[in-house]
Structure 1
Amino acid sequence: MKANKAIRVVGCMLILVNLAILTKYILFKRPADTIHVLKNVEKYPRPSFKHGQRENWVLFASIHKIYYSRMDDMYKFMNIGGNILGFVPLGFLLPLVFFRRGRLVLTVGTIFLISFLFESVQRYTGLGVFDVDDLLLNTVGGLLGYIFYLLMPPFQRRKENAVMAIG
């Protein structure tokens, strides 16, 4: 029982660390620009979205643009792969700490909402670009994390049974 509680506490701390890292890389990519925008937020009108400059609502448009761009491969990986990898820990930790096994829809839905929150903050603050492709990639990352979680239970069940036998 104590081992379960310790796992939950450590898991909660890791979720908070992951969210802090995501916040840094999603919202505060360029610290100097971020501070300037936040200090002068009332001077900046919300970005004009009429021409799609600050948002993408076309699924796969950004992925296609980045993948087929002349950018170096490291940039492509950091952009596309980073959106996936950043949310893998949440896909693993959320069911471990809160939802338990068999809660695929709840886990993936929560990750989608967290991603949507980040994208919305970017859209309304001007700290980034709202992109449906990011929502997709982030959610895929969370789904991969959930798959890793599903691969873990046989070990976890043995550990819980051992703790109960001792206690």
Structure 2
Amino acid sequence: MKKFLNMAYWIVLVFYSYLLVDTVFLARDVRRSINIVPFDMISEQGFTINVWGNVLMFIPLGVYFADNMKQFRFWKVLGGIIGTSLAIEVLQYIFKCGASDIDDLILNTIGGLLGMSIYLLLKSISKSKEQVHIAISILSIIVGVPVILLVIIIFAYNH
């Protein structure tokens, strides 16, 4: 059972990584823009799908970063989340594939912090790191498999 859960964990993690790259780089118009005014996009657009999407797409990142550390360190996980988000924004600007926006960095960090909070909640109710990993593996299956199926259906429908 542990082998199955571990395999499912890594399959969902790889698919999540693919989906993140596809969403922030491949599914974008060719354009280059930058916004360095905090909360400008949020105040202009309100809480749209774009705002919620930035938060939701980074929740798994916070969970996976925290879970894959040998020993949990808040600042290292936070640095990884911010660093990943910042790298995405810089690469979007360099490769002209979307808008580089400080609000995205803020929202992605909030999502990552929510993911880290989920990890810490699981850690507080579990007896060992292994139990936390098993719980995250099960959550990966519960959330990841339907998302994978939905993406496959959407892809098949559009092609």
TM-score computed with the length of structure 1 as normaliser: 0.67
Where does the alignment leave 5 or more consecutive residues of structure 2 unmatched?
Answer: 132-159
Equivalent residue runs for 1:64-103 within 5 Å: 64-67=43-46, 76-101=47-72, 103=73
2:95 to 125, 129, 152: 125
Checking the alignment, whether the CA contact within 8 Å between 1:99 and 1:106 is kept in structure 2 is no
- Matched letter for residue 97 of structure 1: N
Query: How big is each residue's C-alpha offset from its partner over 1:48-79, in whole Å with a ceiling of 9 and x where there is no partner?
Result: xxxxxx10001111111111xxxxxxxx4310
Q: Which residue of structure 1 aligns with residue 42 of structure 2?
A: 63
Distance 1:112 1:128 in 2: 18
Higher helix proportion: 2
Distance 1:134 1:159 in 2: 31
Count residues in correspondence. 131
Query: How big is each residue's C-alpha offset from its partner over 1:26-60, in whole Å with a ceiling of 9 and x where there is no partner?
Result: 11224xx5xxx6xxxxxxxx95xxxxxx1000111
Equivalent residue runs for 1:45-60 within 5 Å: 47=32, 54-60=33-39
The DSSP-based 3-state class of the residue aligned with 1:86 is helix
Corresponding position: 1:135 with 2:105: yes
Checking the alignment, whether the CA contact within 8 Å between 2:123 and 2:129 is kept in structure 1 is no
1:104/1:125 CA distance change after superposition, 3 Å: same
- Matched letter for residue 125 of structure 1: F
The DSSP-based 3-state class of the residue aligned with 2:68 is helix
Q: Which residue of structure 1 aligns with residue 24 of structure 2?
A: 26
The DSSP-based 3-state class of the residue aligned with 1:129 is strand
Q: Which residue of structure 2 aligns with residue 144 of structure 1?
A: 114
Checking the alignment, whether the CA contact within 8 Å between 1:55 and 1:130 is kept in structure 2 is yes
Distance 1:108 1:9 in 2: 26
- Matched letter for residue 65 of structure 1: E
State the Cα RMSD in Å.
2.7
- How far 1:80 sits from its partner (Å)? 0.4
- Greater Rg over alpha carbons, structure: 1
Query: How big is each residue's C-alpha offset from its partner over 1:63-117, in whole Å with a ceiling of 9 and x where there is no partner?
Result: 11111xxxxxxxx43100000000000111111122533x111111101111111
Identity %: 32
Checking the alignment, whether the CA contact within 8 Å between 1:11 and 1:96 is kept in structure 2 is no
- How far 1:12 sits from its partner (Å)? 4.6
Distance 1:127 1:107 in 2: 27
TM-score computed with the length of structure 2 as normaliser: 0.70
